[in-house]
Structure formats: structure tokens, C-alpha cells
Homo-oligomer: A and B are copies of this chain.
Amino acid sequence: MRPAIQIFPVYGIGDVVTGQSVSALIAAGLVHSGMTLVAGDILVVTQKIVSKAEGRIIDPRTVTPSHIAQMCAAQGHKDACYYEVVLQESKRIIKMDKGVLICETHHGLICANAGVDESNVDGGTHITLLPVDPDASARGIRTEVGAATGVEPAVIISDSFGRAWREGQVNIAIGVAGINPLISYAGLDDPFGYRMQASILAIGDEIAAAAELVMGKTDRIPVAVVRGVSYEQSPSEASALIRPANKDLFR
């Protein structure tokens, strides 16, 4: 029996440095992996390589910690320069407790430490920031990989986020292109003819989570192809996945 959904790791994408084209690396990685894209394929690309390629890397020793960054360092596990970078990436602090900062980023994403990440950058002396506009990054990859391969895939830029109430991180979609990251079952009839309540699934986040299962953290597999998902092609943005403040009980 054929599986409905297949997830392929894209091999051969090595270290990424500022100025490289993620799209060119992906196109080469697909060739290296013996893969040909087909219509409907979704490329899931980890934020880390996009940030590196776009130069969203900073040496924390170049920033001057503010008073509140020093207070964070006194209570948290990182140094004051790290927290200053986190604060500069934030437009609002949702919670600051138990050594953790839950931030609203300039994109409107709510996550620990504004998505600022120390791991996996050369020697640990630099840290990565989220892309300035992950939807634009996704659109660029969609267009460029389409030009290189002849098939324009949907693209999701993913990152690992923690959740309220639950242990462990899951990958979610912080940027999208060519896919509506929400699917609505509102108003559909269920098998009993009962009109269902609105039921909206965040398939953008589910696809990002599914792709993470082939990526791992240390295997240098920053890109996966997800094949077989039913989705609406649309010019949506990942902000569709962010709950508006007036509907949100937790900020």
C-alpha cells in the first residue's frame, strides 16, 4: 500500500554562512539526495540556516547590557549580553519568571528568549536571531527553488518552540509561502449529518512538526520535503497562525 504522506530528508546541506543562497543549497541538496520535486511538495526549512544565510548572527560581546538585561542575568542562566540581545529582539515581555523570558518578538511570535539561540553556531561565541521577515524568506525560497527545479514548492520556515503547559519543544511554522497554514472544517457535516462546530487545524504547524521527525538536531538535516498533504495554495502569511491579542487569554 502506498503511504498517503511521505517525508524525505534533504542531505548534503553543510554548514551555512552569511551570504550563501539557501535556495541554491537546497537545489543542490535535492540533487545530492536523488530527489525530484513534484507538484504539491512542501519544503520545510529550519530557521537556523535561513538566519545564518541572511546574516542574522550577532556577537553578544558587541552589545551593552541595559539594567533590565543585568537583572535577567542575575535570575537566569545566561549572561547579560545574551539577555540584551533577547530584549532588543522583543517588543513586549509576556512573562519574566524562574529564569525564563517569554517574549513577543517584533513579528508577533510569542516564545522563550525571542527565538534567540546560542546552539550550533561556531564555537558558541555568536548567537542567531530569527529572520527579519520569515514569510519573505519563504517566498524567496519558493520562487528560487522553483526556478532551479521547475517545480515551485510550498515553503515553511520552521523553528522549535516550547509551549505553555507541556514539556518538550515542537517545530512550528514561523514563515510560509504558497500554503494556507490553517484549514477549516467549520460548517462541514460530520458522518451523522450533524453540523460541526468550527474546527480549525493549524496544518502549517503540524507539517513543521512532522518534518522535525527526520531532522534531528545534530544530523545536519535542516531541510525536509513533505509529500502528499492536502492543502490550500494561497498567498497566506505565518501571521495567520498568531492569535490576535484580543482573542488571547494568555498575554
Q: How far is the CB of A108 from chain B (nearest CB, A)?
A: 9
Please state if B190 and A217 are interface contacts (CB–CB under 8 Å).
yes
Q: How far is the CB of A230 from chain B (nearest CB, A)?
A: 8
**A residues whose Cβ falls under 8 Å from a Cβ of B:** 1, 3-9, 15, 33-35, 95, 97-98, 100, 102, 110, 118-124, 160, 163-172, 181-182, 185, 188-192, 194, 196-197, 199-203, 205-207, 209-210, 212-214, 216-218, 220, 227-229, 240-243, 247-251
From B35, B190, B218, give the contact of A191 (CB < 8 A).
Answer: B218
From B8, B97, B123, B243, give the contact of A1 (CB < 8 A).
Answer: B8
Could you list some 7 contacts between A and B, CB below 8 A?
A: A3-B6, A97-B249, A167-B240, A190-B218, A201-B212, A205-B209, A209-B210
Residues of chain B lying within 8 A (CB to CB) of residue A170:
201-202, 205-206, 209
Please state if B165 and A118 are interface contacts (CB–CB under 8 Å).
no
From B4, B166, B197, B217, give the contact of A118 (CB < 8 A).
Answer: B197
Q: Across the two chains, which residue of chain B brings its CB closest to A4?
A: B214
Q: Which 9 A-B pairs have the closest CB atoms?
A: A168-B202, A210-B210, A3-B6, A206-B209, A164-B250, A5-B7, A209-B209, A110-B165, A164-B164
For the complex, what is the distance from the CA of A212 to the CA of B201, rounded to whole Å? 9
From B110, B181, B191, B213, give the contact of A120 (CB < 8 A).
Answer: B191
Residues of chain B lying within 8 A (CB to CB) of residue A123:
192, 194
* Given A165-B251, A167-B241: A214 in contact with B5 (beta carbons within 8 A): yes
Please state if B167 and A243 are interface contacts (CB–CB under 8 Å).
yes
Q: How far is the CB of A33 from chain B (nearest CB, A)?
A: 6
Residues of chain B lying within 8 A (CB to CB) of residue A191:
15, 120, 218, 220
